[in-house]
Amino acid sequence: MQIELRQVDITRITVDAIVNAANTTLLGGGGVDGAIHRAAGPDLLAECKKIGGCRTGEAVITKAYRLPCRYLIHTPGPVWNGGSSGEEELLRSCYSNSLKLASDNELEVLAFPSISTGIYGYPIEDAAKIAVGTVTQWPERFPSKVIFVTFSDSDTQVYRDIISS
């Protein structure tokens, strides 16, 4: 598994699929979810409405519409609640279920934002360790490359230290 780190707006990158840090309604929101829906256009919301929602830790795949990538994978991360409500397992499932959809669809390159570490308040260091650990231990042929997309200098430094450790 090839791993890359990029500090960029995830809506601008051309990969097979980008992952959206969604909420369980799939109807859009703020943060990266808001940026993705704004860039993809109204047809994304229409498709998401048909899906009808997604449980925390699960993942669904949709078209990407006006985005430069081919597909979108939406996964609602856990809201940080102190760490004793199964947040770690749920966050790990976001990554593994997104990887599973990429594998099922034979997608080569997948880009993840830092799920749950914004509005949902998950501590960045713990979340990044779960993200990098889950991806590096993924055994399947697809995806062959994962890009971790960060959106602040501090998050980039956290991911860089974990990836290089």
Q: How far apart are CA 107 and CA 150, in angstroms?
A: 21
**29 vs 123, which CB is nearer to ligand APR?**
29
CA dihedral angle for residue 84, residue 82, residue 112, residue 141, rounded to 10 degrees: -20
Residue 33 annotated as catalytic: yes
73 binds ligand APR (CB under 6 A): no
Angle between helices 31-40 and 42-51 (to 10 degrees): 110
Residue span binding ligand APR (CB under 6 A) among the ranges 33-41, 49-57, 98-106, 133-141: 33-41
Quick note: the x/- pattern for ligand APR over 89-118, rule CB under 6 A, is: ------------------------xxxxxx
Q: How far apart are CA 44 and CA 83, in angstroms?
A: 33
Quick note: the x/- pattern for ligand APR over 125-154, rule CB under 6 A, is: ------------------------x-xx--
Closest to 22 in 3D by CA, of 40, 2, 1, 4: 40
**104 vs 157, which CB is nearer to ligand APR?**
157
Closest to 22 in 3D by CA, of 59, 71, 62: 59
**33 vs 107, which CB is nearer to ligand APR?**
33
123 binds ligand APR (CB under 6 A): no
9 binds ligand APR (CB under 6 A): yes
Catalytic residue among 16, 33, 155, 161: 33
Closest to 133 in 3D by CA, of 94, 106, 76: 94
Q: How far apart are CA 53 and CA 47, in angstroms?
A: 11
**66 vs 139, which CB is nearer to ligand APR?**
66
3-state SS class at 107: coil
Least Cβ distance, residue 122 to ligand APR (angstroms): 7
Judged by the rule CB under 6 A, the positions of this chain that interact with ligand APR are 9-11, 21-23, 29-35, 77, 113-120, 149, 151-152, 155
